[in-house]
Structures are given as structure tokens and as C-alpha cells.
Amino acid sequence: MSQRANPGLLLEIQKYGAPDISACFNCGNCTAVCPLAGEGASFPRRIIRYAQVGLKERLLAAPDLWLCYACGECSTTCPRQAEPGEFMAAARRFAIASDDVTGLAGVMVRRAWINVLANIALTLFFALYLLSFRQPTPAGRLALFQFVPEVYVQVIGLAIFGVIGLAMLSGTWRMWRRLAGASGLTGDGRRPWHVWRQALWDVLVVEALGQRRYRQSGCEEEQRPWYQRQWLVHLTILYGFLGLFAATALDFLFKPVGSAVPLYYPMRLLGTSAGLLLMCGASAAMLRRLQKRDRSARQSHISDWMFLIQLWLVGLTGFLLELAVYALLPALWGYALLIVHVALAMDLLLMLPFGKFNHAHYRTAALLVHRLQAAEPDRAGQPAPAEA
């Protein structure tokens, strides 16, 4: 099917942090050295070519865009110093903005100052919202959810979850339809259930939770200790975030409103452990970006930094709040920490559909398309016979 070329596509992607990729003459060296491009994919070469000739729809419909883990090997060996690795990262930001129905994701990336101001404004808004419901508290002890009744925190929390859920689902669905249609997974190209089952296991468990492709991508340097390896840093952030989400959901479902729980309470232990993982991962990621010893960490966009800073601050204020509760710190400090921690957490959650976190579900969807695309289609309800 023919597509109309967009001569301004390359300039448009450059607004998302891409270098001037016009220096690339499509020699294919980047694809040859990529440790992950040997699985039938031809990135970043094909993605760069789509951008150069203005094929926007083909670029956005290519699962290859999300198979890259930004190890930087292609940029290191590029004979023209065209920075293909950095271009791939910018192209993913462009894809996120293209699938966002609100248009906010693009604004947050293209206008760094709006990103920073929006996060500050949202944090202040949520802090004022919580303070507007403050109640008298008993003297001599810390009563957090008597100071701000827990029901008001839960109401705004549920509203935020609804907003981000709709935003993420709409973006992922738009991306899935585009990728599935271009990859031949619709109509006569449907796959049988056993292929779906295996693909879902490989993508959700082996890849997303086990980070197999990330570990095989060569995104580490041999001199780095194991605890600073990029895939492990990424994994600790992922597990920390998922653990805090699970602890919050379980606490909401099973803990009576307003009740205090001991430190050994299962949800409390889960939240504390997940918070520790989150802070360790975010700290290691920021340290890598500050040191700039790895090619993959030398180019940092403001959206990347904002996400890491938000994670770190939410983790820090959470630990300080636990210290205030269980070490019996003065009530004034405890109430101030409650407002700051909850406001930061609400801001982080509300900004998820418009920033770096989108990589988690977009990459998962693209990997699923990639797995299904490699399997034989189901025609007339039966798997296609293998060709000689």
C-alpha cells in the first residue's frame, strides 16, 4: 500500500531530542553491530531510512522501534557520527507523543520548561487539596489520617488511577492497532491460541519481568560491578514501582480506613521493600547519567531526569514518613511529610501517561507483536503448513 511522504518528518523528530541524522548514508554498520538486530529486525537502519524519506506511518508501525534498548553500540561505531542510538530514543518519544490523544506527551518533551513547571504546579495543587481537608489532631501523638481523613486521599487517588488508566489504554490500543495491522496479525493473519499463550508468557514473564533481552543487549561495560549494570538498575526500578503499586492497592482493599498498622504488617513490609528497591534503582540511574561513563547515559533528556527525580523524591519522603510514624518524631514534621509525600506521589502517577513510564507498556506491546509476527498465521482455523 502506497503512503504519502512527509518531507518534514525528520525535522519533527528532531524536536524530540534527535540529532541531525541526515549525515547517515545508510551503510548498515549500525544494524551489523547491534546485538539484538539479528532476530529478523533491521533497526536502527530501517527506522532511520523511514525518517529520512518521510514515511511517518511506517516508522510508527514498526515494532523495531521498540526492540532497541539504547546500548549505544551503534553510535560508538557509526563512521559518520550520526548518533543512531540517540535518534532511536528520540523516535520513541515521537511515537509516544503520536499515540497520546491528549497531546500532552509531546508538549512535555518538546518544552522542557513546561515539563518542570507542570510538575511543580501539580505538586502544589495536590498539597493544597490535602490541606483544605485538614482536621484538628490530638496533642502528643501523630494521627496522620485524622489530620487529613484517609477517604479524601482515596477519592483523589481513584480519580487519578481512572485518568491514567484511560490515557494509557487509549495510547496502547492505538499503537497496537497500527502495529498489528502493519504486521499482518489481523484478518487472515490471526494466530492460534497456543501461539498467543506462548507469546504472552515470553513477553510478560521472560522479557518484562526477567529482562532477558536487556541482559543480552550488551548494554554493560565489563569494568562495571554487577550492581551497577544497566539491566539490573532498570529491573530494580520496575520491581520497586510494581511493589509499591501492589502494596498501595492491597492496603486500600484490605486495611480498615483510618487504622494504624505495625511495621511487620505484610503490606507495610512489601511497601518498605519496594520503596528501597525504587530508591536504589533511581539513585543508580541518576549516578550513571551524571558520570556519563556509558554511551547509553551520555544523552539525557529532561523527561528522563524528571521521572527519576520524581521516583527518588517519592521514595525518600516515604521513608521519612515511616521514620516519623515509628520513631515518634514531632507531629509537625509528620504532618508536613504526609502532605509532601502524598502530593509528590499523586503528581508522579498523574504524569505517567505523558513521560518515560510509557516505555514499559509500549515496549511490551511491540514485543508481543514481534513474537506473533514470527509465528505462523492461523488460516481457516488451522496453522499454516510449513513451506519446503
Instruction: Indicate whether 254 pLDDT > 60.
Output: yes
- 123-170: per-residue pLDDT in tens? 999 999 999 998 888 776 778 888 888 888 888 888 998 999 999 999
Confidence of residue 385 (pLDDT cuts 50, 70, 90): very low
The reply to whether 2 falls in a domain is no
Q: Does a structural domain hold residue 142?
A: yes
How confident is the model over 362-376, as pLDDT tens digits? Answer: 999 999 998 898 876
Stretch 35-47: mean pLDDT? 78
Domain C-terminal end among 78, 99, 120: 99
Per-residue confidence (pLDDT) for residue 221, from 0 to 100 = 56
- Whether residues 56 and 158 share a domain: the answer is no
Asked if residue 264 and residue 287 are part of one domain, the reply reads yes
110 and 90 in a common domain: no
What pLDDT is stored for residue 261 in this prediction? 63
Taking 90 as the threshold, does the pLDDT of residue 212 lie above it? no
Contact 341, 317 (CB under 8 A): yes
Measure Cα distances from 70 to 13, 29, 30, 84, 102 in Å. 17, 16, 12, 10, 27
- Write down the pLDDT at residue 301: 79
Which parts of the chain are beta strand (E)? 378-379, 382-383
Residue ending a domain, choose from 40, 72, 99: 99
- pLDDT (mean) for 17-33: 86
Domain co-membership, 169 together with 270: yes
User: Across all residues in the chain, what is the average pLDDT?
Assistant: 84
Question: Would residue 152 count as lying in a domain?
Answer: yes
Domain span at residue 124 reads 104-374
Let me know if residue 316 belongs to a domain: yes
Higher confidence at residue 244 or residue 38?
244
Domain stop point among 80, 99, 118: 99
Q: Identify whether residues 122 and 24 lie together within a single domain.
A: no
* pLDDT value of residue 39: 58
Neighbours of 100 (CB within 10 A): 21
pLDDT top residue among 270 and 253: 270
| Pair 315, 275: CB distance under 8 Å | yes
For 96-105, what is each residue's pLDDT tens digit?
999 998 889 9
| pLDDT classification of 386: cutoffs 50, 70, 90 | very low
Coil vs helix vs strand at 160: helix
**158: its cell numbers:** 481513584
Q: At what angle do helices 302-326 and 230-254 cross, to 10 degrees?
A: 50
Considering its fold, how many domains does the chain have in total? 2
Q: Quick one: 148 and 215 in the same domain?
A: yes
Taking only the tens place, the pLDDT of each residue in 173-209 is 999 999 998 888 887 778 889 999 999 999 999 998 9
Mean predicted confidence (pLDDT) in 262-272: 80
Residue-level pLDDT at 381: 45
Note whether residue 190 is domain-resident.
Answer: yes
Cell of 66: 521498540
Radius of gyration, CA atoms only, the chain: 23
pLDDT higher than 70, residue 384: no
- 189 and 231 share one domain: yes
Region 271-278 average pLDDT: 91
Q: What's the pLDDT at 355?
A: 85
- In this prediction, residue 257 has a pLDDT band, given cuts at 50, 70 and 90, of low
pLDDT tens, 64-112? 899 888 888 888 888 888 889 899 999 999 999 999 988 899 998 888 8
